Amino acid sequence: MYRTHTCGELRLADAGKTVTLAGWVQRSRAMGGLTFVDLRDRYGITQLSFNAERDKALCDQANELGREYVVEATGTVKERESKNNNIPTGGIELVVTELKVLNAAKTPPFTIEEETDGGDDLRMKYRYLDLRRANVRKNFELRHRMAIETRNYLSAQHFLEVETPVLIKSTPEGARDFVVPSRMHQGEFYALPQSPQTFKQLLMVAGMDRYFQIVKCFRDEDLRADRQPEFTQIDCEMAFVEQEDILQMFEGLAKHLFKSVLGKEFTEPFPRMTYDEAMRSYGCDKPDLRFGMKFQYLTPALSQGEGGMPLTPGPSPGERGADLARGHGFKVFDEAELVVGINAEGCAGWSRKQTDALIDFVKRPQIGATGIVFLKWTEEGLKSTVDKFFTPEQLQQWAERCGMKQGDLLCIMAGKADKTRKQLNELRLHIGDLCNLRDPWTFSPLWVVDFPLLEQDEESGRWHAMHHPFTAPKPEDAHKLESDPGSVKANAYDLVINGTEIGGGSIRIHDRALQEAMFRVLGFSDADARAKFGFLMEAFEYGAPPHGGAAFGFDRWVSLFGGRSDIREFIAFPKNNAGKDVMIDAPSPIDAEQLKELGLEVKG
Amino acid sequence: MYRTHTCGELRLADAGKTVTLAGWVQRSRAMGGLTFVDLRDRYGITQLSFNAERDKALCDQANELGREYVVEATGTVKERESKNNNIPTGGIELVVTELKVLNAAKTPPFTIEEETDGGDDLRMKYRYLDLRRANVRKNFELRHRMAIETRNYLSAQHFLEVETPVLIKSTPEGARDFVVPSRMHQGEFYALPQSPQTFKQLLMVAGMDRYFQIVKCFRDEDLRADRQPEFTQIDCEMAFVEQEDILQMFEGLAKHLFKSVLGKEFTEPFPRMTYDEAMRSYGCDKPDLRFGMKFQYLTPALSQGEGGMPLTPGPSPGERGADLARGHGFKVFDEAELVVGINAEGCAGWSRKQTDALIDFVKRPQIGATGIVFLKWTEEGLKSTVDKFFTPEQLQQWAERCGMKQGDLLCIMAGKADKTRKQLNELRLHIGDLCNLRDPWTFSPLWVVDFPLLEQDEESGRWHAMHHPFTAPKPEDAHKLESDPGSVKANAYDLVINGTEIGGGSIRIHDRALQEAMFRVLGFSDADARAKFGFLMEAFEYGAPPHGGAAFGFDRWVSLFGGRSDIREFIAFPKNNAGKDVMIDAPSPIDAEQLKELGLEVKG
C-alpha cells in the first residue's frame, strides 16, 4: 500500500491523523529552516511540510526533490497556519515524518501548469506530461462522465450497446477507407469502418429494436484541426420509428447530458428550422443561434430554380418585397444576383479602422469576397459607403427592411447567391465573436430538418447523397427520385449546438427496390451496388422493419461541453495534422518479413 | 408512430385498451373461422386474433401473412380464453381491427426458433436472421448488461474510461500485428493494437491514476473456436498499487458482476493458488475447481531443476514420500520421470468399454499419451491393470496415498513430467465432463498467482515473457533477472473461473534501467528496444509511478456467464475460422486505384 489517502481528500477534520500520501512534486519552497512541498495527484494537491529544526536529515532530503519526482510521504495531518482558500485541502498540511522517493524525474521539457510554456509539438511528443496538467486532465474526466451518462440514459431507454466489427469490407463512398491487408487471404483487404451504418441497419433487420454504440470510426482524409483519422461517435438506430420519435429520443439524450454534466436545464423543446430556412436566414445549415443578425435581403432573392441553386432558395415569394438594391447605378449591386445584409446592433460607433478590418476579413482567400457596403445609423442619421448612388430615402428603406435602429451598423454583401450567403455567414460569425455574442457557456441547440436528399456536384453533374446513400426520401417525394432528384427532400435532421453540427441522422430505406433506385441515381452500376451492398439489399427482403437513427460526434460534443473548439484537447493520444502520432512515431516502416507474409511490395 | 406498446408488455390489466403493435410474424394458425398470429419483437410475443365472421376481409389478409412478415396491427386487448402460462403476455390477445403489412419477407433459409435447423455457415451468412432467435438475442442483452455493470462499478471506483488509439505502431511480439498502410506517408504503416498496454502505462505516467477501457484488440493469428482476429477486453491500470490492491479491486468487480448479472453472491474471498501449486496439483495454470481430482503422485516428483523443467516442480521435498511406482519391473513406470494419477470418485463400476474409451481419449493425437493404468476399488477389493507387477499391499499403498475409498477408480499416467501432467489435466477435465461435475451454472473462481516471469523456448533456448515484457520481476528476484532468468517470479496473476482464464495482469516495470535489462533478457538489441519502445522508456524517466493492472477477455467472460463456450455466439458479427465475414464477404480485393494511392503492389 503506497498511500492511505489521495492528495485531494484531507480536510481540517482529519487533523491529527497519521496518513500516507503518494504523488508528484508540483513545486517546493525552502524558507529559512522550513520546506514546503506541494504534492499532486489526480485528485488534488496537498502541502507537505518539513522543519529542519525537528529533523534536519529529512528536511535536507526534501530540499533535494526535483519537480515531478514521485514520492511517498507519511506524517501527521495538521491545521495550517496560513490557509490557502483556493484549494479544498488548503486548510491543512502534512507534517512529514518519513519520505520515500519512488522515482526520480528529469526536468520536464515544459512546465506542468495550467498555463504551460510548451508548444503544440512538444506537448504532443510528451503527451504523458501534457496530460498531467489539471486543465487537460479535466477534459478526460468530462469525457468519461459524458460517456457514462450517455450509456446510462440510452440503456434506460432499452437501447442495447452492440459491438460491430472493425475489420469490415471496403466500400469507399465519399471519404477514403483505411484498409488492412489480409495475411490469410493474400491480395484481399479488410477496411476500417467510416461508421457502422450498414451493421446497425442489419441489427434493426435482426430485431434488436434499439441499438447504440460509442464507437471508433476511421476516415483516411486530409486533416484539419477538427478532423482526426480516428474519431468516436455515439451511433444509434431504432426500429419502428418515424422522424418525430427519433428527434424526441435524442433531444432527451441531449437534455440529459446538459443537465447531468453541466447542470443546465432545458425545459422547452429545442427549436427546429428547415434546411431551407437555415440557408436563407443564416447562409449555412448549422446556424449559431446564440445571437441574431439574421440575413436581410435588399434584392427580392431567388426562388427555386433561379440562378442554378435550387437547393438554397431565397425568401418565399410573399416575403420578397421590392428590389431596394439594384438599378441605381452601383455596379457591384447591379451585377449581383443577391444583395443581402446583417444588422450589427450597437456597432454604428465602430471606427473606420474597425470596419476596414471587417473588409480585410472577408477578403481573405478562405472567404474570397470583394468587399462590404456599410450603412451606419448614428446620432447624425444614416450614413453609407455608397451615398453617391442612393438617396437618404432609399437608405431609409434599407434600414426599415433590415430592422435597424439608431446605433446599428448594417453590413451588406453582394454577388452570386450561393457564394454571397456563405461569405455573409462567415462575416456574421466573425462579428458575433467581436461583439462577444458567442459565449462558450451559453448553449443554443437547434434541430435542422428537411434536408435535401441529394446534392449535385457542380463540375461532374453527379448526384451525391447529402447524408448517405441509405437515407430515405420523404414518402411524398419518393416518386420524383429518378425524374427530379434535386427536388427530393429527406426525413434527415442535424442537431446543431452553437453553430456546431453535433450529429444527425435520418429515416432509412428499408425496401430493396427503393435502395436499388437510390444507387442508380448515385451512379452505381447494378453490379457495383450488388458487390458492395448486396448483403444489405438481400437483408431487406427478409422482413426489414422501418427504421432510422442518428450518430453524434462524441469528440466534438465533449469539446463543446468543455468550452473548447480543438477536439484534440479531448483525445488522449491524437494524431497531428499529418496523421502522425509523434509520441510513438507512427506510422513507421515495417519489417520486410512482415510485408512478405502479407504478399505486398512497397513501390517507388 | 408505428406502435403504442411492444409485443412483450401487455397484460390482463390492459384488457379493453386500444393499442397498436408492430413486429414479425412468428407463426400463424388458421382454425375454422379463427386465425391466430404470434407477433414477435425483441420484448416478447403477443397473440393477434382474427375472426372471419366478424371481418372476413381482415381475416383473409391475416391468412396471407408469411413467416417473418413485418406488420403493424391495431386492435383491442382482450382476455384470452385458453391462456398460455409460458409467456408473460399469455393471458391476453389482441383482437385486430386494422392490419398493415410494413414489409413482406421471403421464407428464411432456416427456422427462426431457439432450436434452428440452420447449420453454422448458413447462420453466419444470414447472421441478421440468426440474431432474431430469442436465445441468440439474449446473449447480447447479457453482453450489454455486463458492459454497463462493469463501467458503473469501475466508474464508482474512480476509474476513468480513456480511449486509446487504434492506429498505432507495429511492435510484433508474440502474435502478429494487423497493419494499415498510410496513404500520406507511403511505405509506412500503422498497426492495430494487440492491447493498449503501452498506452495505459503512459496514462499512469500521466497521472490518470485509475484507467479502464472496454476496447477492441486485434491479433493476426490462425484462428480457433475461442479466438477471433478482433476481440474485446476490459483493460485496466492503477497507479500506486501493489498486487494485493489490484486483486482486491478486480475481485470486487467479479463479485459485482456475479451478483448484479447472475444473482450469485460470493461472500468469501476467492481462493488463491500459486502457479507452482496449480501445475503440481492440476497440471495446468487454469485449474477448473468445480471438482476435485487433484493429482496424486506415486513417484517422488521432480524438484526444481530436475528433468529440465524448472518451472513445473513436483511436491515440495517434505511431501515427496517414497517411490511407489518404479522398480517393480513395469517398464512404462520404470522409464517414467513421473507417475501420477487422479482418483475418479465413484467410478469403480465403469465398464471395460468405458475405461477403454478413456484410453482412446488420451491416445488422440491432440493429447498423445500412450495409455492409462487403472486401479479399481470395488466390493471385491483393489484390482489394477498391472496386477502382475504389483502386490496387493503395494496397490493398497497407492490407494492410501491417493485417498481412495471403495467405489473409486484411480487413473494413472506416466512419462516425461511436463507432458504427463498436461495429458492428465486433459483426462481430468474429460472425466469431470463424463461425471457431470462441470455444470456451467456452478462458478468456481480462483486467483492463480506468482507466475514465473519468463519461460524458455525449448528449441531456440530463447526466453519469452510469460505475460508480456512490461511485467516486473518480484523485487526480491530482480537481481537474478540476467543471471538466472528461469528462477525469477513475477507479481503476475490470472483470474480463472471454471478452468477458463478470464483475465490476468501484473505489476509493471516503472524504471528505465530495469526495463532495458528485461529487453536484453528477451533478446532485443538496444537499438531495437529503443526503436520500438523508446517512448515508454523515456516516459519512465519523467516521474513514472509504481503501477500495475489487469485485462479481462470480455467475449470470454460474457460467454462464461451465458453458459456457453463458443465466444462467437456472443459476438454480433464474428469472423469464421478462416478470418472471413461471410455475410459481407470480407476481406475482399480492393480497387487498383486504392492500391495505387497507397503505393502498394500485390505480389504473386
> Does residue B178 contact residue A184 with C-beta atoms inside 8 Å?
no
> Does residue B376 contact residue B354 with C-beta atoms inside 8 Å?
no
A140 touches chain B (CB under 8 A): yes
What is the helix (H) or strand (E) element at residue A280, kind and residue range? helix A275-282
Q: What is the mean pLDDT of residues A353-369?
A: 97
Burial of A1 (0-12, 13-18, 19+ CB in 10 A): exposed
CB-nearest to A161 from B147, B580, B587 is B147
Strands (E), A104-242: 160-161, 179-181, 189-191, 210-218, 230-239
Same domain, A295 and A238: no
Q: Cα(B209)–Cα(B206) distance, rounded to whole angstroms?
A: 8
Domain count for chain A:
3
Q: Cα(B508)–Cα(B494) distance, rounded to whole angstroms?
A: 15
- Best residue in B220, B240, B524, B570 for a mutation probing chain A (most A CBs within 10 Å): B240
pLDDT tens readout for residues A2-61: 999 999 999 999 999 999 999 999 999 999 899 999 999 999 999 999 999 999 999 999
pLDDT at A310: 38
Q: Residue B578, Cβ neighbours under 10 Å: how many?
A: 11
Same domain, B141 and B187: yes
Whether the pLDDT of residue A172 is over 90: the answer is: no
Picking from B105, B109, B22, the residue whose alpha carbon sits closest to that of residue B64 is B105
CB-nearest to A586 from B152, B190, B222 is B190
**Could you tell me the maximum CA-CA distance found in chain B, to the nearest angstrom?**
93
CB-nearest to A602 from B187, B218, B535 is B187
Tally of residues, chain A: 604
Q: Cα(A460)–Cα(A479) distance, rounded to whole angstroms?
A: 24
Beta strands A373-378; A296-297: pairing state: unpaired
Q: For B279, phi and psi rounded to 5 degrees? A: -65, -40
Q: What share of chain B is helix, strand, coil (3-state, %, to 5)?
A: 30, 25, 45
Beta strands B44-51; B34-41: pairing state: antiparallel
Q: What is the mean pLDDT of residues A175-185?
A: 93
For residue B402, the cross-strand partners are none
* Contact yes or no for A128 and B541 at CB 8 A: no
Q: What is the mean pLDDT of residues A200-220?
A: 97
Same domain, B303 and B405: yes
pLDDT tens readout for residues B122-178: 999 999 999 999 999 999 999 999 999 999 999 999 999 999 999 999 886 668 999
Burial of A365 (0-12, 13-18, 19+ CB in 10 A): exposed
pLDDT tens readout for residues B288-323: 999 999 999 999 855 544 333 333 344 444 455 789
Picking from B211, B98, B70, B107, the residue whose alpha carbon sits closest to that of residue B154 is B211
pLDDT tens readout for residues A214-258: 999 999 988 766 689 999 999 999 999 999 999 999 999 999 999
pLDDT at A307: 36
* Contact yes or no for B245 and A187 at CB 8 A: no
**Residues contacting residue A277 through CB under 8 Å, at least 6 positions apart:** none
ipTM for the whole complex = 0.94
Picking from A443, A473, A450, the residue whose alpha carbon sits closest to that of residue A272 is A450
Picking from B387, B465, B455, B383, the residue whose alpha carbon sits closest to that of residue B418 is B455
For residue A602, the cross-strand partners are B600
- Which amino acid type is present at position A452? P
Strands (E), A286-435: 296-297, 338-344, 373-378, 381-384, 409-415
**Residues contacting residue A64 through CB under 8 Å, at least 6 positions apart:** none
Q: How far is CA B570 from the centre of its chain?
A: 11
Same domain, A256 and A366: no
The residue behind cell 484537447 is A569
Beta strands B500-507; B492-497: pairing state: antiparallel
Picking from B479, B537, B471, the residue whose alpha carbon sits closest to that of residue B507 is B471
Least confident residue range of A332-346, B219-233, B342-356, B382-396: B219-233
B528 touches chain A (CB under 8 A): no
Q: What is the mean pLDDT of residues A129-138?
A: 96
Domain boundary pick from A416, A438, A460? A438
Our CA-based measurement puts residue B279 at a distance from the nearest CA of chain A, in whole angstroms, of 30
Residue A379 C-alpha cell reads as: 446620432
pLDDT at B301: 56
Whether the pLDDT of residue A303 is over 70: the answer is: no
Beta strands B445-449; B409-415: pairing state: unpaired
pLDDT at B221: 87
> Does residue B564 contact residue A147 with C-beta atoms inside 8 Å?
no
B74 domain residue, yes or no:
yes
In chain A, residues with a C-beta closer than 8 Å to the C-beta of B575 are 165, 167
pLDDT at A211: 98
The residue behind cell 512482415 is A594
pLDDT at B307: 36
B388 domain residue, yes or no:
yes
Q: Cα(B561)–Cα(B133) distance, rounded to whole angstroms?
A: 19
CB-nearest to A189 from B584, B590, B604 is B590
Nearest CA in chain B to A209: B42
* Contact yes or no for B189 and A535 at CB 8 A: no
A21 domain residue, yes or no:
yes
What is the helix (H) or strand (E) element at residue A447, kind and residue range? strand A445-449
Q: For A106, phi and psi rounded to 5 degrees? A: -70, 160
Q: What is the mean pLDDT of chain A?
A: 94
B499 domain residue, yes or no:
yes
Q: What percent of chain B has pLDDT over 90?
A: 89
Q: Cα(B171)–Cα(B177) distance, rounded to whole angstroms?
A: 8
Whether the pLDDT of residue B588 is over 70: the answer is: yes
Q: What is the mean pLDDT of residues B357-376?
A: 97
Whether the pLDDT of residue B570 is over 80: the answer is: yes
CATH code of B71's domain: 2.40.50.140
Picking from A409, A420, A528, A520, the residue whose alpha carbon sits closest to that of residue A463 is A520
Q: Cα(B126)–Cα(A41) distance, rounded to whole angstroms?
A: 52
In chain A, residues with a C-beta closer than 8 Å to the C-beta of B104 are 543
CA distances from B4 to A211, B7, B72, B90, B554 (A): 19, 10, 10, 19, 36
* Contact yes or no for A587 and B172 at CB 8 A: no
B555 touches chain A (CB under 8 A): no
Q: Cα(A137)–Cα(A40) distance, rounded to whole angstroms?
A: 13
* Contact yes or no for A176 and B183 at CB 8 A: yes
Same domain, B525 and B544: yes
Q: Residue A333, Cβ neighbours under 10 Å: how many?
A: 24
A177 touches chain B (CB under 8 A): yes
Grouping H, G, I as helix, E, B as strand and the rest as coil, residue B475 is helix
B69 touches chain A (CB under 8 A): yes
**Residues contacting residue A157 through CB under 8 Å, at least 6 positions apart:** A210, A249, A252
Helix A275-282 × helix A417-434 angle, to 10°: 70
CA distances from A249 to A95, A118, A446, A468 (A): 54, 43, 15, 21
- Which amino acid type is present at position A369? A
Same domain, A59 and A93: yes
CATH code of B455's domain: 3.30.930.10
pLDDT tens readout for residues B415-464: 999 999 999 999 999 999 999 999 999 999 999 999 999 999 888 999 99
* Contact yes or no for A167 and B575 at CB 8 A: yes
Q: For B57, phi and psi rounded to 5 degrees? A: -60, -45
A274 domain residue, yes or no:
no
Our CA-based measurement puts residue B386 at a distance from the nearest CA of chain A, in whole angstroms, of 50
Strands (E), B32-141: 34-41, 44-51, 70-79, 92-103
B282 domain residue, yes or no:
no
Q: What is the mean pLDDT of residues A178-194?
A: 95
Q: Residue B174, Cβ neighbours under 10 Å: how many?
A: 11
* Contact yes or no for A207 and B132 at CB 8 A: yes
Q: Which residues of chain B from 150 to 169 reach within 8 Å of chain A, CB to CB?
A: 151-152, 155, 160-169
B6 domain residue, yes or no:
no
In chain A, residues with a C-beta closer than 8 Å to the C-beta of B41 are 207, 209
Our CA-based measurement puts residue B293 at a distance from the nearest CA of chain A, in whole angstroms, of 37
Same domain, A297 and A217: no
Whether the pLDDT of residue A317 is over 60: the answer is: no
Dihedral (Cα; B9, B12, B18, B23), 10-degree rounding: 30
Q: Which residues of chain A from 208 to 247 reach within 8 Å of chain B, CB to CB?
A: 208-209, 216, 218, 220, 222, 229-230, 232, 240-242, 244-245
Domain boundary pick from B421, B438, B455? B438
Q: What is the mean pLDDT of residues B99-115?
A: 95
Our CA-based measurement puts residue A236 at a distance from the nearest CA of chain B, in whole angstroms, of 14
Which ranges constitute the DSSP H helices of B232-351? 243-262, 275-282, 331-334
B54 touches chain A (CB under 8 A): no
Residue A378 C-alpha cell reads as: 448614428
Taken in order B252, B254, B257, B263, the sign of the CA dihedral is negative
**Residues contacting residue B433 through CB under 8 Å, at least 6 positions apart:** none
> Does residue A114 contact residue A123 with C-beta atoms inside 8 Å?
no
In chain B, residues with a C-beta closer than 8 Å to the C-beta of A162 are 140, 143-144, 572
CA atoms within 13 A of residue A317's CA, in its CB half-sphere: 2
Q: Cα(B93)–Cα(B445) distance, rounded to whole angstroms?
A: 46
A190 touches chain B (CB under 8 A): yes
Q: Cα(B400)–Cα(B422) distance, rounded to whole angstroms?
A: 24
CB-nearest to B169 from A152, A191, A586 is A586
Q: Which residues of chain B from 571 to 600 reach within 8 Å of chain A, CB to CB?
A: 571-573, 575, 578-581, 583-591, 594, 597-600
Angle at B368 between CA B365 and CA B370, to 5 degrees: 130
pLDDT tens readout for residues B488-503: 999 999 999 999 999 9
In chain A, residues with a C-beta closer than 8 Å to the C-beta of B127 are 202, 206
Whether the pLDDT of residue A390 is over 90: the answer is: yes
Domain boundary pick from B86, B103, B120? B103
DSSP per-residue codes, B188-229: -EEE--S-SHHHHHHHHHTT--EEEEEEEEE------TT--S
pLDDT at A322: 85
Identify the residue with better confidence: B123 or A118: B123
Q: What is the mean pLDDT of residues B546-553?
A: 98
For residue A175, the cross-strand partners are A173
DSSP per-residue codes, A281-301: HHSSSS--TTS----EESS--
Cβ-based contacts under 8 A for chains A and B: 359
B509 touches chain A (CB under 8 A): no
pLDDT at A302: 58
pLDDT tens readout for residues A254-279: 999 999 999 999 999 999 999 999 99
Residues spanned by the domain of B338: 291-438
pLDDT at B140: 98
* Contact yes or no for A600 and B599 at CB 8 A: no
Picking from A98, A166, A199, A86, the residue whose alpha carbon sits closest to that of residue A549 is A199
Q: Cα(B567)–Cα(B244) distance, rounded to whole angstroms?
A: 30
Q: Cα(A280)–Cα(A294) distance, rounded to whole angstroms?
A: 9
Same domain, B320 and B416: yes
Q: What is the mean pLDDT of chain B?
A: 94
Whether the pLDDT of residue B196 is over 50: the answer is: yes
CATH code of B395's domain: 3.30.1360.30
Q: How far is CA A554 from the centre of its chain?
A: 8
Same domain, A396 and A482: no
Same domain, B487 and B431: no
pLDDT-derived band at B604, boundaries 50, 70, 90: low
B324 domain residue, yes or no:
yes
Whether the pLDDT of residue A306 is over 50: the answer is: no
Q: What is the mean pLDDT of residues B96-103?
A: 98
pLDDT at B95: 98
DSSP class of residue B446? E
Taken in order B104, B109, B115, B121, the sign of the CA dihedral is negative
Same domain, B434 and B303: yes
> Does residue A589 contact residue B188 with C-beta atoms inside 8 Å?
yes
B175 touches chain A (CB under 8 A): no
The residue behind cell 416518386 is A479
Q: How far is CA B249 from the centre of its chain?
A: 21
Same domain, A265 and A331: no
